[in-house]
Chains A and B, each alone.
Chain A
Amino acid sequence: MVRAVAVVYAGAIYAFIFLPVLVLVLFSFQGTLFPIPPFNGPSLRWYEAVLNDPRLTSALGNSFVVAVTTSGLATLLGFLAAWGLARFELPGGVLLRGLITLPLTVSYLIIGMGLLVFFNALGVPKSLIAAGVGHVVINLPLCFAIVYSQMGEHQANIERAARDLGAAEWQVLALVTAPMLWPALFASFFLSMTFSWDEFVISFLLTRFDTTLPVEIWNLLRAGLNPKTNAVGSMVFGISIVLAIVFELTAFRRRPQ
């Protein structure tokens, strides 16, 4: 009896979480003009429509480029910051560490608005690059935290050994530190990609003509519901799931030793 209640309860939770997504995905295969019951499909016509829409495909490409470059940059900067703060005694090191993770607690809206005002004052126009800067700002603290948590004293000794054998500082970083930390770096990169891929508010505030996919979808939604939005939403969701799975696999993979 108790077991039955538990099963129903768990079922309800998962339905609550996943049903909207399932409905979204289901009606992306709708055969007719409206994403409402009854379902008459499956049909790929709306996917075809998405791929034939140059605005959506270029937004898809933009999103991809922004996600890859900002994640790469955030991972690189996060790694360097983590290494610096983990390996060197800096004046105010604890404070610096706190400051670098602070953006994690600030809402994307505030960060986006702050950047908008700042870029305006500098005369920097709205663009994908401006939005990319925003994505680095939100993802760098995350990358820093992940990499920093993986830096231990044992690795410091391994770096010392490399220096002792004649490695210059950049060689220590490139040949020893980064390869030792690659699971953390990989995880940082893919988590950043997941966040950048989905990010709407900052991109909305900081881009104008060329924009990212979430903003383009929002534009599409303003014209009303349409199975095409379902199709593009399903594609975004599918790619997010892939990124999340890659992240989980790298972050929680059992490592030898």
Chain B
Amino acid sequence: MTALLAVERLCHRFGAAKVLNNVALGVEAGSYTVLLGPSGSGKTTLLSILGGFLQPSSGLVTIRGVDCTALPPARRPTATVFQDYALFPHMSVGSNVGFGLRMKGIGRSVRVKQARDMLAVVGLAEAFDKKPHELSGGQRQRVALARALVVEPAVLLLDEPLGALDLKLRRQMQDELKSIQRKVGTAFVHVTHDQEEAMALADHVVVMNHGRIEDQGPPERVYGRPATRFTATFMGESTLIPGHVSGEGRVETPLGHFPATGLAAGTPVRLAIRPEHVRLSSTPDAIAAVVTDVVYQGSFKRVTLAPAAAPEIAVVARLPAESNFRPGQPILVEFVPAGIVILKD
């Protein structure tokens, strides 16, 4: 099956700076794709290229098999929800939502009906006659969403759509975005730097750094078996432990040896361990460490440890909230074998 939207060998530079480097991406129909990365990773540039607001230096963008690389925004089957919503301040909410239909030459009565229906989908049916400045941030967000969805784009592009909202509203809108996406069935491509948002929303998460795609796949896979060091530390937290593969299918590290298969002996690697895969232990080969920091997080305690064998490695563990450790205390821990990810250096 060919992807609804496909990006191939995409490169882009601003002057001398290479902001996108050989990016390849596929978006399936009806999927929710999240582009995740720190600022400067190129994710917004990629979205602008998908929307037609930027011409890439080289590479190909196809939508439904049609080459759209050079098409202006108006002529490609995408619609964008801007970070600042970009609603038309002088028009009513209804006219805002109907604008795209008006540009298509659709008559007033049909326009009004479709705009009303779409506002109902985003839960703002009563706002039809209001002006954008009478609405709250979250409501404006929904209007922007309705305005983009009503033209029935093949792909909806969302540029940090929740960035301007406060945390509580953000989590709430996040759930609504997902349910709206399921309801309308349009493919969403959503840019964010918030990894929790990415995991909550995505069917397919794309982790970007320095203009490259570091990793992409279902969020469970990207979180559980990250492909690169960057992914392991940006998408959730990980402790990285340097080591190398020894002869007998093992990785030797300052904290002991761990099983490894399929890697040539001598290969330098790093182990990535999620905080929830570090647990208290009483076995003979437990790792002895000293607690250096304890942060209470409500449902758990985030404990930082300095192993006796390699105190420079700060191991982060997620321990039960009722555990009673204090900085300076000795502690014995082990890594859950299934949670150990081996990354080539």
A residues at B contact (CB < 8 Å): 154, 157-158, 160-168, 171, 175-176, 179-180, 182, 256-257
Contact = CB atoms under 8 A, between A and B. Distances in A.
Contacts of A175: 99
Contacts of B128: none
A165 B133 contact: no
Given A180-B89, A180-B90, A182-B90, A166 B72 contact: no
A163 B72 contact: yes
Interface residues of B, number: 27
A168 B74 contact: yes
Contacts of B86: 154, 157-158, 160-161
30 contacts: A154-B84, A157-B86, A158-B86, A160-B80, A160-B82, A160-B86, A161-B80, A161-B82, A161-B87, A161-B88, A161-B147, A164-B52, A164-B53, A164-B80, A164-B148, A165-B79, A165-B99, A165-B100, A167-B99, A167-B103, A171-B103, A176-B88, A179-B88, A180-B89, A180-B90, A182-B90, A256-B89, A256-B133, A257-B89, A257-B133
Interface of B: 51-53, 72-74, 78-80, 82, 84, 86-91, 99-100, 103-104, 131-133, 147-148, 151
A158 B80 contact: no
Given A164-B73, A166-B151, A158 B87 contact: yes
Nearest to A158: B86
A256 B133 CA distance: 7
A157 B84 contact: yes
Contacts of A176: 88
A141 B73 CA distance: 33
Contact of A162 (B51, B84, B99, B148): B99
B120 to A, nearest CB: 20
B104 A166 contact: yes
Contacts of B89: 158, 180, 256-257
Nearest to B144: A161
A181 to B, nearest CB: 10
Contacts of A163: 72-74
Nearest to A168: B74
